[in-house]
Chains A and B, each alone.
Chain A
Amino acid sequence: MANDLNSPVKMNMSQDAQGKWGMVIDQDLCTGCQACVAACSMENNVPFVGEVDAGYGRNMQWIRIERFWSGSFPDIKMTSYQPVMCQQCHKAPCEPVCPVYASVHSESEDLNLQVYNRCIGTRYCANNCPYQARTFNWRDYQDARQRPELVTLQNHLNPDVTVRRRGVMEKCTFCIQRIRHTEDTAESENREIRDGEVVPACAQACPASAITFGRIDDPTTQVSQAAVTSRAGHLLEDLGTIPHVTYLAGGA
């Protein structure tokens, strides 16, 4: 992370024009309230695994709030909160390892896709993900026959998103159902998608407006302009994964 103000921005996403969709997260605005985590789970049918499975470390989230501390005791200072989700890498480490091509790259959207009906649950992709962004369905968590406590929530599932079965890997999709819906609306009105028209669930729920989403191949969008400031940086940039999520940090 480019926490140092003087460090140069190594990669300029709008100039490289790699990819189509990008996200910018302002860590100075993030308060760590977890609203994005809740919104993401509701939008994308991410199940709540329950106490027992969470104890086994099988918790399921597509986005999580990371906390780090700097300095040594007793002068410990917490750094700003860091929401981490799938970084939608341009060169994704998860993709070449999948034996059944369930983790594939979308040529048209330049996103990492997870094709649930192909996935056989080898979990190789999750082991190869440097951001630990992938979660695995250890059980049929959404099946009301196996989870009687879910009966009260029979209508809580989003019909636009697949309900994943047991043994399937899943991860953040940049709310591709919302991208598709907006594309369809724009096409029906015979126009281009406006900047800021596609809003993922996490960005919509963020009370501090710390998350921005938009096109990165267009230098005039909010995302492209935020990504070229000196506060911008990427997670684990040295790995060369070319992530599509930019973090802003270190400002006053």
Chain B
Amino acid sequence: MIKSFFNALNQPLGRVGVLIVFLALLSGAVWGIAQTQKTPQQPIDFPHNIHVGVLKIPCLYCHPGALRGPSPGLPTITKCWGCHQQLDITKTSPKLVPLVQAVQNNTPLQWVPVMWIPDFVHFVHRPHIAAGLNCETCHGDVSKMTVYQTPQVINMGWCLNCHRSKTEDNAQNNPTNDPAVAASLAEERIKLTDCSTCHY
């Protein structure tokens, strides 16, 4: 029976069938990978471009945890309502209906995290901000986005590239050629490329 099945595959029609099955599997795989790269649906299409670009609200007003610890946090309805209860647009705009409903029912808005890192990576925002990085260095220019999108693929190579280049002993980072600075840079480099810095 198996032999006759393979014989049928050797016929012209059988080969076309194999090709069709292969193409179907391939397109399924491509679609699946594309799904993982899609920006998730948020409860409200939050316009970052208006809040950051036009109104110039600092990032840390809504994501204050970035200064203190690992997670910057996503704003609660109390934070949104603090400003929005005073605005006329809250009553008129259909886009803000979910917020008004959430406040009336006292239910949370379930924002979906976009900058997602796996469980075995431990990222802390505080030292990165203390090192003088701006939010947009990693998160892109949110003043031109509506719903947030990641500007690049977040993987370990991307993290390590930055950790290496920031501690490089070159003209850009170490212009004085001071051996003490070079030694501290080398120490910093060992520390920043150590597995235990992020994985534990």
Q: Chain A: residues with CB nearer than 8 A to chain B?
A: 104, 106-109, 111, 113, 115-117, 160-163, 173, 176-177, 180, 184, 187-188
On chain B, the residues within 8 Å of A106 by CB distance are: 194-196
CB distance from B119 to the nearest CB of A (A): 6
Given contacts A117-B120, A177-B122, A184-B127, contact A108 B200 (CB under 8 A): no
Given contacts A108-B194, A115-B195, contact A162 B200 (CB under 8 A): yes
On chain A, the residues within 8 Å of B199 by CB distance are: 113, 115-117, 162
CB distance from A153 to the nearest CB of B (A): 17
Instruction: Please report whether the interface of chain A is mostly helix, strand, loop or mixed according to DSSP.
Output: loop
Given contacts A108-B190, A109-B194, A188-B130, contact A180 B200 (CB under 8 A): yes
Query: Is the Cβ of B127 less than 8 Å from the Cβ of A187?
Result: yes
B100-150 contacts to A (CB < 8 Å): 118-120, 122, 124, 126-127, 130
Given contacts A106-B194, A108-B190, contact A163 B119 (CB under 8 A): yes
B191 at the interface (CB under 8 A from A): yes
On chain B, the residues within 8 Å of A160 by CB distance are: 122
Cα of A161 to Cα of B199 in the assembled complex, Å:
9
Query: Is the Cβ of B126 less than 8 Å from the Cβ of A108?
Result: no
Instruction: With a 10 A CB-CB cut-off, give which of B122, B194, B195, B197 has the most chain A CB atoms.
Output: B195
Given contacts A177-B122, A187-B130, contact A107 B190 (CB under 8 A): yes
CB distance from A89 to the nearest CB of B (A): 16
Partner of B196, one of A108, A117, A187: A108
Cα of A9 to Cα of B151 in the assembled complex, Å:
58
Q: How many A-B residue pairs have CB under 8 A?
A: 51
On chain B, the residues within 8 Å of A163 by CB distance are: 119
CB distance from A103 to the nearest CB of B (A): 10
Cα of A180 to Cα of B197 in the assembled complex, Å:
8
Query: Is the Cβ of B126 less than 8 Å from the Cβ of A184?
Result: yes
Q: Chain B: residues with CB nearer than 8 A to chain A?
A: 118-120, 122, 124, 126-127, 130, 187, 190-191, 194-197, 199-200
Cα of A87 to Cα of B117 in the assembled complex, Å:
31
CB distance from B136 to the nearest CB of A (A): 23
Cα of A134 to Cα of B124 in the assembled complex, Å:
28
Query: Is the Cβ of B196 less than 8 Å from the Cβ of A176?
Result: yes
Query: Is the Cβ of B194 less than 8 Å from the Cβ of A161?
Result: no
A-B contact pairs, 15 of them (CB 8 A): A106-B195, A108-B187, A109-B196, A113-B195, A113-B196, A116-B199, A117-B120, A162-B119, A163-B119, A173-B200, A176-B200, A177-B200, A180-B122, A180-B197, A184-B127
Instruction: With a 10 A CB-CB cut-off, give which of B126, B130, B199 has the most chain A CB atoms.
Output: B199
On chain A, the residues within 8 Å of B195 by CB distance are: 104, 106, 113, 115
CB distance from A74 to the nearest CB of B (A): 49
CB distance from A141 to the nearest CB of B (A): 15
On chain A, the residues within 8 Å of B119 by CB distance are: 162-163
Known pairs A106-B195, A109-B196, A162-B200; list 10 more (Cβ under 8 Å): A104-B195, A108-B194, A108-B196, A111-B196, A113-B196, A113-B200, A161-B200, A184-B127, A187-B130, A188-B130
On chain B, the residues within 8 Å of A162 by CB distance are: 119-120, 122, 199-200
On chain B, the residues within 8 Å of A184 by CB distance are: 124, 126-127
Cα of A113 to Cα of B187 in the assembled complex, Å:
19
CB distance from B4 to the nearest CB of A (A): 41
On chain A, the residues within 8 Å of B200 by CB distance are: 113, 161-162, 173, 176-177, 180
Query: Is the Cβ of B120 less than 8 Å from the Cβ of A116?
Result: yes
Cα of A187 to Cα of B200 in the assembled complex, Å:
20
Cα of A220 to Cα of B34 in the assembled complex, Å:
57
CB distance from A69 to the nearest CB of B (A): 37
On chain B, the residues within 8 Å of A176 by CB distance are: 196, 200
Cα of A113 to Cα of B122 in the assembled complex, Å:
15
CB distance from A85 to the nearest CB of B (A): 15
Cα of A116 to Cα of B199 in the assembled complex, Å:
8
Cα of A104 to Cα of B195 in the assembled complex, Å:
8
